[in-house]
Amino acid sequence: MILSDLVEAHARQRADHPALRIEDETLTYGQLAEQVRAVAAGLAASGVRAGQTVAFVLPNCVEFVVAWLALGRIGAVAAPVNTALLGDGLAAVLRMSGAEVAIVDEQFLPAIAETGGILRTVFVRGRTGVMNFRAWAELTAYSGTAPRHEARPGDPSILLFTSGSTGRSKACVLPHRYVLRQAEVFTGQLGLTASDVLFCPFPLFHADAAIFTVAPAFLLGATAALVARFSVRSFWEQVRRYHATVFDFMGATLTMLYKQEPAPGDADNPARLGWGVPLPEWAEDFERRFGVELVEVYGLSDTGIVLYNRPGEPRRPGSCGRPVHPFEVKVLGQDGFELPSGEVGEICIRPLEPHVILSEYLGMPETTVQAWRDLWFHTGDLAHRDEDGYFYFAGRGADVIRRRGENISALEIETVVGRHPAVLEVAAFGVPSELTEEDVMVVVTLRPGRELEARDLLAYCQERLPRPMVPRYVEFTGPLPKTPTEKVDKRVLKERGAGRSTFDQEQERASP
């Protein structure tokens, strides 16, 4: 069983039900199944064979979903690429994927042209007649049916690249059973039904959109609704337009929605459930204001979602949930032994069924082995658990600031600074110190119309943070640099470091 089989089944049973809505285009299950069959035949006729990888350089569009399902029918693998990549970065990801064929939106053709001929065949979504490229329309024109490849559960369905916001991007090889089993667990834990409309404002090359929006919708025979990108101004209008009942959030998106000026019609929307991470301390106020229940979960592309809070159950503030079958999750110390409740260590995962997390990091055997040491998958994320088995996220291991011999959680600093009423969003990170190790720097975006002095922000921090966590450097800026999934890209901020406009508390103290 693969994802396109589910679409075919729904096409027979509810052909006219909307399957996919992206911006202004809608496909019913009948239309989607028909396009998938045609494109599968077109790809096969163009020489794409089972086991081959086809890269996508596409925005959120119906062609992305059609091509992913069509490749599954012929046993090939989809490799969606971060559309923000250019030059050497794009070339490196294409080489990593092993793709020689790609489906590319016309707006990204200049970037493809700069990759030096890695690709032998490029199908273009958009204008036709471009020299050396073929039109997407060629694929949709086929009326025949390609022989269906009998996929095994462990055969790869899609390569999802980690965001690379704190380190080198890796290609997660995700099997067909990962796609379906994650969708089964997700819909079961969150109580989703065929009448739901699952809305996602994040890119299809990310797990939230592909694995936890499209796949669950197609499992249930529900509707997946997506837009080009997250927009704080358009979000609720989009929820209303698509009649969305479920949406996801990540990074700063929930905060940005909450910090908009309240309006009388905030609760006038069809959404009943929002899921994601992190869930802030003002979640209950958000729920009252917008008339929606929020639940926090924990997962990553590599393993899918493994910790859940269930809707309707009492909330444990700060918890990202408990492990669910088919996953065993523990907090391990540096020596590999499980830590007692209350102690912070690394989140480590062991699957209890085959093919429900990634198969490998493509082309990185040493990295794969290192992640799987001691027969546990090591996430690099930190947490502690309580006596009842609830987990509490404590930050990324790669997002720890080393200051004066202490490990400091950037997340804790960001949580406190983010509570300031003038702050819209914040990023905390370490910068090199003349005393070795690091000093703490925060970069802050203020809410529109608000003003705040660095000295006043530091005084606010001194009243609420342990002394080692109080930032040395403060810089106010416009919107923070983001990955396409709205996570702050701290690599950009760290490379920039402290500049002339940065407030330096130590320098201030030393001034006469």
Burial of 21 (0-12, 13-18, 19+ CB in 10 A): buried
Residues 218-247 have a mean pLDDT of 97
Rounded to 10 degrees, what is the CA torsion of 20, 22, 23, 24?
Answer: -40
Task: Kindly list the distances between the CA atom of residue 261 and the CA atoms of 233, 277, 424, 425, 449, in Å, as whole numbers in the listed order.
Answer: 11, 23, 12, 15, 11
In the sheet that holds 473-476, the strands lie side by side as: 423-432, 438-446, 473-476, 503-504
Q: Is the pLDDT of residue 374 over 70?
A: yes
Instruction: Indicate the pTM of the whole model.
Output: 0.85
- Rounded Cα–Cα distance for residues 98 and 306 (Å): 29
> What one-letter code names the amino acid at 178?
Y
In the chain, the amino acid numbered 449 is G
Mean pLDDT of 418-439: 88
pLDDT of residue 405: 64
Assess contact for 182 and 356: CB atoms under 8 A: yes
The predicted structure's pLDDT at residue 165: 46
Q: What's the angle, vertex CA 136, arms to CA 135 and CA 142, rounded to 5?
A: 105
54-72 average pLDDT score: 98
- Band the pLDDT of 230: cuts 50, 70, 90: very high
Q: What percent of the chain has pLDDT over 70?
A: 96
**Integer Cα distance of 51 and 101 in angstroms:** 13
* Pairwise pLDDT comparison (501 vs 155), residue with the higher score: 155
Say whether pLDDT at 398 is over 90. no
pLDDT at 66: 98
Locate 283 and state its tokens. 């979640």
Q: Write down the domain spans for the chain.
A: 3-151, 184-396, 404-510
The total of other beta-carbon atoms located within 10 Å of residue 15's CB is 15
Six token digits for residue 78: 């989809």
pLDDT (average), residues 270-280: 94
Task: Name the CATH architecture for the domain at 404-510.
Answer: 2-Layer Sandwich (3.30)
Per-residue pLDDT at 164: 53
Q: Which amino acid is at 73?
A: R
User: For residue 63, is pLDDT > 80?
Assistant: yes
Residue 131 is predicted with a pLDDT of 58
- What is the average pLDDT across 188-205? 97
Strand 101-105 relative to strand 53-57, pairing: parallel
Above 90 in pLDDT, residue 148? no
The pLDDT score that the predictor gives to residue 166 is 46
Helix (H, G, I), strand (E, B) or coil at 363: coil
Task: Report pLDDT digits (tens) over 289-307.
Answer: 999 999 999 999 999 999 9
C-beta neighbour count of 94 within 10 angstroms: 23
Q: Which of 109-113, 210-214, 232-236, 290-294 has the lowest mean pLDDT?
A: 109-113
Average pLDDT for residues 256-281, to the nearest whole number?
93
Q: Which of 479, 395, 404 is nearest to 443 (CA)?
A: 479
Q: How confident is the model at residue 512 (pLDDT cuts 50, 70, 90)?
A: low
The overall longest dimension of the chain from CA atoms, in Å, is 82
**Average pLDDT of the residues of the chain:** 92
Is 404-510 in the same CATH topology as 184-396?
A: no
- The pLDDT of residue 404 is 67
17: DSSP letter: S
SS3 content of the chain, % helix, strand, coil (to 5): 30, 30, 40
Tell me what pLDDT residue 129 has: 53
Least confident of 141-145, 268-272, 374-378: 141-145
The superfamily in CATH containing domain 3-151 is ANL, N-terminal domain (3.40.50.12780)
CA 475 to chain centre: 27
Judged against a pLDDT cut of 90, whether residue 203 lies above it is answered with: yes
Is the Cβ–Cβ distance between 189 and 183 less than 8 Å? no
Architecture of domain 184-396: 3-Layer(aba) Sandwich (3.40)
- How confident is the model over 47-61, as pLDDT tens digits? 999 999 999 999 999
Residue 438: is its pLDDT beyond 60?
yes
What integer pLDDT is reported at residue 128 of this predicted model? 60
Which pLDDT tens digit goes with each residue over 119-140? 999 999 987 656 578 999 989 8
First-to-last CA distance in the chain?
73
Average pLDDT over residues 472-492: 88
